[in-house]
């Protein structure tokens, strides 16, 4: 474990806690894409299949359980909670996430480190996580006014993978010089997808104005 990875995990955890807090406190999920949240559940389920089989550390296991639990409860709130689900506008959250899931799965079957169930699912989860934010970003572009919590949520979500990029640089040079193209390139793409959001987010923060993404 290194400081970059810990900072990344804490940023990731903070983003999810922030979203869960927004939904529970405001009893609203306005501006949040259910599609993206469902993709994250798929990412965590396919990535943590070895939770019950492989033990790395207490931290690793507890964080996996927290990520699984929080992401599933967010989807539960948005789909089934009697008050929250009324605030979900499915007419604007129209991104067909099957167009993300299928290509990522096929790619994981073709490009992976080993053709085993665990490894292919792990690879699939990395490819899918790289593009999982797209429905949320599309929804933000359609939203006239983005509330601060949602903006901060997306920013933290993007920042966590940027920390992971630093973690991979650190691990390559300091630890085992092991080349890991799949996480590296997926993480690079994931962070690049946030680039324009980061630009508008920082601009709105500097100019103290409302966050607005160009349509």
To another protein, the closest distance from the beta carbon of 63 in angstroms equals 5
Is 169 among the residues that bind another protein (CB under 8 A)? no
To another protein, the closest distance from the beta carbon of 47 in angstroms equals 7
Question: How many residues sit close enough to another protein to count as binding (CB under 8 A)?
Answer: 20
- Distance, in Å, from the CA atom of 63 to the CA atom of 171, rounded to the nearest integer, reads 20
Q: Which of 81, 87, 119, 172 binds another protein (CB under 8 A)?
A: 119
Query: Which range binds another protein by CB under 8 A, 4-12, 18-26, 77-85, 197-205?
Result: 4-12
- Cβ neighbours around 215 below 10 Å, total: 6
For residue 89, CA distances in Å to 83, 113, 140, 172, 175 come to 13, 40, 13, 44, 47
Instruction: Choose between 11 and 152: whose C-beta lies nearer to another protein.
Output: 11
Taking residues 95 to 114 in sequence order and writing x for each that binds another protein by CB under 8 A, - otherwise, the string is: ------------------xx
Instruction: Choose between 30 and 182: whose C-beta lies nearer to another protein.
Output: 182
Which residues inside 12-51 make contact with another protein, applying CB under 8 A?
Answer: 12, 47, 50
Which residues inside 52-71 make contact with another protein, applying CB under 8 A?
Answer: 54, 56, 60, 63-64, 67
* Site residues (vs another protein, CB under 8 A): 5, 9, 12, 47, 50, 54, 56, 60, 63-64, 67, 113-114, 116, 118-119, 122, 164, 167, 183
């Amino acid at each position: 474990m290194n400081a970059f990875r810990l900072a990344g995990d804490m940023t990731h955890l903070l983003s999810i806690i922030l979203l869960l807090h927004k939904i529970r406190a405001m009893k609203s999920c306005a501006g949040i894409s259910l599609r993206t949240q469902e993709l994250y559940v798929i990412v965590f389920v396919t990535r943590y299949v070895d939770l019950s089989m492989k033990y790395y550390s207490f931290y690793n296991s507890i964080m996996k359980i927290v990520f699984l639990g929080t992401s599933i409860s967010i989807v539960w709130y948005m789909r089934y909670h009697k008050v929250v689900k009324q605030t979900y506008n499915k007419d604007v959250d129209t991104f067909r996430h099957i167009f993300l899931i299928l290509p990522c799965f096929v790619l994981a079957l073709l490009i992976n480190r080993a053709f085993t169930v665990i490894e292919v699912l792990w690879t699939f989860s990395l490819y899918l996580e790289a593009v999982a934010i797209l429905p949320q970003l599309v929804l933000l572009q359609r939203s006239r006014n983005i509330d601060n919590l949602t903006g901060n949520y997306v920013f933290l979500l993007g920042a966590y993978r940027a920390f992971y990029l630093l973690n991979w640089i650190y691990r390559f040079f300091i630890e085992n010089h092991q080349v890991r193209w799949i996480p590296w390139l997926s993480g690079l793409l994931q962070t690049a997808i946030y680039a324009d959001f980061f630009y508008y987010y920082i601009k709105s923060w500097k100019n103290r104005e409302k966050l607005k993404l160009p349509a």
